[in-house]
Amino acid sequence: MSLKLHVFNPTPDRERTDYVVTDWLPIYERAQIGPEELVVRDSAGNILPAQVDRVDPDDPSRDLLIFELKNPLPPGDEHYQTPSDYVKIERGRPDEVGPAGDLQVHVEEEGDVETGFKLLNGRLEVWFKLIPEPWKDGRGWFAGSAYSVQLDRKELLDAFPMSWWGHDPEKRCMQVDYIEMSRPGWEPEPMQRFDLFTQQYRIVPGTISRGPVRASITIASQPFRYDFHDPFTGERHDLTCELFRTITIPRRVNFAQEDMFIKARRAGTEPGPGEVSLYFSAHYFSYMQMGMKRSIFHLPTVPDWFAISSPWEPYQGYGFATNAHATPVLNPHPDCAHFPEEIAYRTFSWSTMPHTNISALHLFWYRAPWEPKPKHTESQTGHAWYEFVFKPLIARVL
């Protein structure tokens, strides 16, 4: 049995050739084709690189189908009302599209403890720490952070270190140091905060994926308790919660993506699909060497993305984009008591607005010696936000 999917390009004035992410469960229920025998063909009959990623093994509704287009998708309408083309889901031999190639996921272990992982796509390497004190030197605040980001083998978190000092040991980015969860309107406090930077994450079993389109992994925080008062019954309710973060890097790109949600279940119940959708905001912290005259570009009228760049060679930069509004960037981070004043300028922090499913994109760039001095480097973050967060290509079952 084959199944057609409509594919939508929401950009009215130009063709696009990106990858498409869509829910897998409705497709599987209609086609009854397993991921191990999945073949995706475009309307011209070409077999497309495709994979199925598992976000939460206890919740099949979060499984995702990802496929990459070979031919440009014609312009469509921005409201996703008119499909631009279609693809077919068939049973066959997916190995015909070739191996994953440069896409890699490597897990770091110490004994039986998973301490971190590395994602690679041939250009970008992201080294991530799961534990708070990876170097056993008393600095116990690195959990959930990327402590090294290399683009074309160039370290971008500390792009111009003094050779006799080595890299700054505090460098890191992509760190959700705490989350805040909305509380019911009748509670005395509007938000409840949970610190994560000192709590060990775990890799969710069965979620490591390296297909022909992207490398992916899901991690989960330590369980924490969220309780609230029911004004109608007079009872207090407890929820056991975990923050899930799925981190991916598609092939050939210079960015990493992540999707976050709170998995909540009632106290005393077994793990399974989240019973409650909870709003939360993610607070990010980064420690990056962008120079003394760094530039922060953030449009007040489009608060979903910003860019931080350096005016000095190699003109490195970092861009952030999200489906939830982002607050202005604080630089230096206001709570920098353990950093000397002369290096506090390397710290940056911001928050997203509350959302049940937060998507974020982390973009990295620099200028190679043979390239001209860049102009308006922040614009690439705006383009990435538009194409991969705000108006991505989507597919729907016919």
Express each pLDDT in 302-347 by its tens digit.
Answer: 999 999 999 888 999 999 999 999 999 999 998 876 777 778 899 9
Domain count, the chain: 2
Instruction: List the one residue out of 224, 204, 228, 225 whose CA is nearest residue 216.
Output: 204
69 and 171 in a single domain? The answer is no
Q: What is the mean pLDDT of residues 9-15?
A: 96
CATH number of residue 357's parent domain: 2.70.98
| Contact criterion met (CB below 8 Å) for 389 and 322 | yes
**DSSP annotation string for 123-162:** SEEEEEE-SS-TTSSS----TTEEEEEEETTEE-TBSS--
pLDDT top residue among 278 and 392? 392
59 shares its domain with 131: no
Note whether 123 and 78 are same-domain residues. no
What is the pLDDT of the chain when averaged over all its residues? 91
Closest CA to 302 of 378, 248, 364, 366: 378
CA atoms of 97 and 103, how far apart (whole Å): 14
> Do 142 and 215 belong to one domain?
yes
How many residues does the structure list for the chain? 398
> Do both 38 and 138 map to the same domain?
no
Instruction: Provide the whole-model pTM.
Output: 0.94
CB 382 within 8 A of CB 391: no
pLDDT computed for residue 162 by the predictor: 59
Range of the domain at 17: 3-100+393-397
Residues 96 and 126 in one domain: no
Q: Are 210 and 100 in contact (CB under 8 A)?
A: yes
